[in-house]
């Protein structure tokens, strides 16, 4: 029975110590430029008419020809994108015609090859939906690692400033890391008909994307 007050006293001291701990929330970030060494382009064939079977035949034929052309280009990957068929209604809410659209998504680290392909595909009556340039997965990973090291260092320096100003020691209690930045879309402003008439290689400039790492968390101060 004599040991009970001692145990209660110890628990009280531990609780008081926990309650007395001072915590500070803070965050730091760092950014690094990454070369946009990968390009993604969406091309599509679209048709409209009263006979959905005929529209599908024409659109699928154009897509098949485009696939054959793209697969002949080394270093360029291709996959099917969105496909849709839907009715077009008139003023009386009756179906006037049908519209079909089928997309292909191209990806490559060879900007010149994609530029040439876009020009050739426009000659085959395909239109360009959008073009995005971004760091490749390997480049992104390398730059994000560098930005993460910078952000963690900045977090530690900020924590040291706060603790030093208060005359305290500090330890990390909680930490989270997040990344931002990436693809840079290149909107296509010209109409599909104009682009098909020109049928020239689309000029592509790599440029850079800014990748940012944010480190946020909580530090605990102690005497």
In a domain, 215, yes or no: no
Two structure tokens written together for 135: 């760091």
Contacts of 157 (CB under 8 A, 6+ apart): 28
Structural domain of 202: 38-135+183-207
In a domain, 61, yes or no: yes
Q: What is the pTM of this model?
A: 0.72
- 109-158: per-residue pLDDT in tens? 999 899 999 999 999 999 999 999 999 999 999 999 999 999 999 999 99
Check which CATH number belongs to the domain holding 55 and give it. Answer: 3.30.70.2970
- Rg over alpha carbons for the chain, rounded to the nearest Å, is 29
- 49-74: per-residue pLDDT in tens? 999 999 999 999 999 999 999 999 99
Contacts of 54 (CB under 8 A, 6+ apart): none
Name the domain count of the chain. 1
Q: What letters, b where the CB count within 10 A reaches 16 and e where it falls short, cover 77-114?
A: ebeeeeeeeeeeeeeeeeeeebbbbbbbbbbbbbbebb
Residue pair 24/193 in contact (Cβ under 8 Å)? The answer is no
In a domain, 102, yes or no: yes
In a domain, 98, yes or no: yes
């Amino acid at each position: 029975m004599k040991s009970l007050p001692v145990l209660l006293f110890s628990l009280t001291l531990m609780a008081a110590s926990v309650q007395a701990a001072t915590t500070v929330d803070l965050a730091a970030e760092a950014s690094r430029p990454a070369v946009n060494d990968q390009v993604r382009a969406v091309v599509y064939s679209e048709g409209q008419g009263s006979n959905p079977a005929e529209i599908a035949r024409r659109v699928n034929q154009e897509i098949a020809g485009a696939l054959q052309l793209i697969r002949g280009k080394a270093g360029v990957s291709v996959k099917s994108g969105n496909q849709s068929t839907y009715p077009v209604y008139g003023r009386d809410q009756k179906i006037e015609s049908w519209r079909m659209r089928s997309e292909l998504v191209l990806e490559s680290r060879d900007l010149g090859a994609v530029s040439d392909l876009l020009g050739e595909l426009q000659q085959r009556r395909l239109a360009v939906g959008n073009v995005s340039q971004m760091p490749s997965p390997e480049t992104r990973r390398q730059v994000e690692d560098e930005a993460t090291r910078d952000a963690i260092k900045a977090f530690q320096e900020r924590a040291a400033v706060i603790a030093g100003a208060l005359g305290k020691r500090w330890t990390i209690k909680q930490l989270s890391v997040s990344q931002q930045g990436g693809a840079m879309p290149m909107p296509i402003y010209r109409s599909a008909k104009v682009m098909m008439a020109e049928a020239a290689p689309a000029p592509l400039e790599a440029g850079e994307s800014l990748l940012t790492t944010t480190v946020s968390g909580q530090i605990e101060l102690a005497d």
